[in-house]
Structure 1
Amino acid sequence: MSLSQIQIIKALADALQWLERELAWGAPVQELRHLTGRIGELYTAMITRGQMAAAVNQRGYDVVSAEGERISVKTITSATRVDFNRATIDQVDRVVILRINLDEGEPSLEELMDLPIAEVIPQLRDIGTALYFPVSRNPRPPADLSKLKETAQASWQGYTISQLENGTILVERDGAPVNPTKPVLREIARQHGVDIMNAMGNPKNTRSLGSDVIRALTA
């Protein structure tokens, strides 16, 4: 059964919440491969307006895009290589490689590669028993936040809390950036009756907590 885009987006949000819950319980992200893999597939289906492959463990690919491209999705956390099956690589039209990064325990997706298979194959290393693509350990530099518009702002006792158009929360005190931001947000939330837990009983992530704090301060 095919999923609507709304269903795919909701499933992705649910999977990310499950990942945050597992991390809050102390599970190492490297041990959550099934969950991180599903997150990568759902994300790819969302950005390509596609569908998950019809069969479980479909040979070679995981997602079919709106244009009919068969996409192999590889989602890593700390791995430095991505393996490909020599026997099924001819079933793939496009490759998407994603990395899940953690910032203060919050997961975010970084796109490492999104290329047609014809451009990927020359970059693969052949060690006889396998084909693989080497991945740098270093994440890409963070986005230039100065180019993003501010969508909301509130102030409290010398602190300025801002929300950018991508959801990022910034905290400054007397004009100087405050990092990490979550301890300050939790203290402000406590003093203004804002619940720091979400509906599932897990601590809110920085974006959700920051948004609620701004809302409380500007109410």
Structure 2
Amino acid sequence: MSLSQTQIIRSLGNALTWLESELQWGVEPGELNHLIGRIGELYVAMRTCGQMALAVNQKGYDVVSATGEQISVKTVTTSKSVILNKNTFDQVHRVVVLRINYGDDLSEGDNISVDDVSIEEIIDEEASKFLSLCKEQGGKYKYSLPGKRKVVPLEQQKPVKQVVYGPYEVVKYESGSIQVKENGVPVRVVKPALRDIAKKIGMSIVRENGRSLPTRQLGSKIIDTINELNES
């Protein structure tokens, strides 16, 4: 049975919501491999206007694109490599490797929102070229992932919004990143400082569904709220 693009997009949204719930319940990302793999497959099916492979545990590939390409999808969180089966690789036309990245909230033990999760495309390549990037190990092909993308330092980014409140300065940059300075010194962990500011100005830090605002949304809302207070 084929799925419409709307159904695939809806399924991806449901899977991300499920991931959000699991993380908020304290489940470690490494214990969610099946769910994370499914998110990757749905993402690729959506991006290629394709379909999920019909057979359960289809050998070799996971998605068939709108043009008929059989795509092997590998999705990781912290793994530094992916493994493909040599015996079924002849069925693969294309390989896509994805990495799920989480916001800073995860390391802080805070609630995680879908807004804090991003899907990074590591590689999207024809099978023959992908194979040239692998090493053969015991009947399998191993592809070593590159390190995470280099983050441009905030001092090299362009600020788009900023506000001063007491000893704090809150700055939003073009990338969406939020920086908080206290008495001119950048704070190491941003979210607790943002919560302190929100409390002082009487601003809610939760959304309508009762979940905490992610860092970027919280920082942006604080800037807008303080600007409104200054104008009133």
Considering the TM-score relative to the shorter chain, is it more than 0.5?
yes
Q: Counterpart of 1:51? A: 50
Change (3 A) 1:140 1:187: same
Q: Any conservation in 2 of the 1:159–1:171 contact (CA below 8 Å)?
A: yes
Query: Do the aligned residues in 1 keep the contact of 2:42 with 2:52 (CA within 8 Å)?
Result: no
* Distance of 2:219 and 2:24 partners within structure 1: 19
Correspondence for 2:121? 111
For residue 80 of structure 1, what is the aligned residue in structure 2? Answer: 80
Contact 1:21 / 1:202 at 8 angstroms: preserved in 2?
no
Structural mapping, 1:8-157, within 5 Å: 8=9, 12=12, 14-45=14-45, 48-53=47-52, 55=54, 56-65=56-65, 68-102=68-102, 103-105=104-106, 106-135=116-145, 138-145=147-154, 148-157=157-166
Give 1:213 deviation, angstroms: 1.7
User: 1:14: how far off?
Assistant: 4.9
* Residues 162/16 of structure 1: CA separation in 2 closer, same or farther (3 Å cut): farther
| Compared CA separation, residues 111 and 196, structure 1 to 2 (3 A) | same
After superposition, the C-alpha distances for 1:64-107 in whole angstroms (9 at most, x for unaligned) are 45655433221112223211123332232322212223333144
Q: 1:2 aligns with which of 1, 4, 25?
A: 4
Distance 2:198 2:183 in 1: 19
The whole-number CA distance in structure 2 between the counterparts of 1:146 and 1:64 is: 44
What is the CA–CA distance in structure 2 between the aligned matches of 1:113 and 1:73, rounded to whole Å? 10
Measure, in 2, the Cα distance between the counterparts of 1:14 and 1:107.
Answer: 14
Query: d(CA) in 1 for partners of 2:15 and 2:161?
Result: 27
Compute the displacement of 1:30 (Å).
Answer: 0.2
Runs of 4+ in 1 over 6 A off after TM superposition: none
| Equivalent in 192, 214, 218 of residue 183 of structure 1 | 192
**What is the Cα deviation at residue 19 of structure 1?**
2.5
Residue 32 of structure 1 deviates from its aligned partner by 0.9
User: Percent of aligned pairs with the same residue?
Assistant: 42
Deviations, residues 127-171 of structure 1 (Å, cap 9, x unaligned): 2332222335x4332245556544433321132222233322222
Which ranges of structure 2 fall in alignment gaps of 5 or more residues? 107-115
Secondary structure in 1 matching 2:5: coil
The code of the aligned residue for 2:143 comes to F
Give 1:33 deviation, angstroms.
1.2
Supply the distance in 1 between the matched residues of 2:165 and 2:15 (Cα, whole angstroms): 34
Query: What is the aligned-residue RMSD (CA, Å)?
Result: 3.0
Is contact 2:51-2:66 (8 Å) kept? Answer: no
Mapped contact 1:71–1:94 kept (Cα < 8 A): yes
Seen in structure 2, the aligned counterparts of structure 1 residues 54 and 97 have a Cα distance that, compared at 3 Å, is: closer
Q: How many residues align?
A: 215
CA contact (8 A) 2:62 2:72 kept: yes
Q: Secondary structure at the match of 1:89?
A: helix
Q: Where does structure 1 lack aligned partners over 5 or more consecutive residues?
A: none
**Is the radius of gyration larger for structure 1 or structure 2?**
2
3-state SS of 1:191 partner: helix
Alignment match, 2:110: none
AA partner of residue 135 (structure 1): L
Report if aligned partners of 2:53, 2:61 keep a CA contact under 8 Å in 1: no
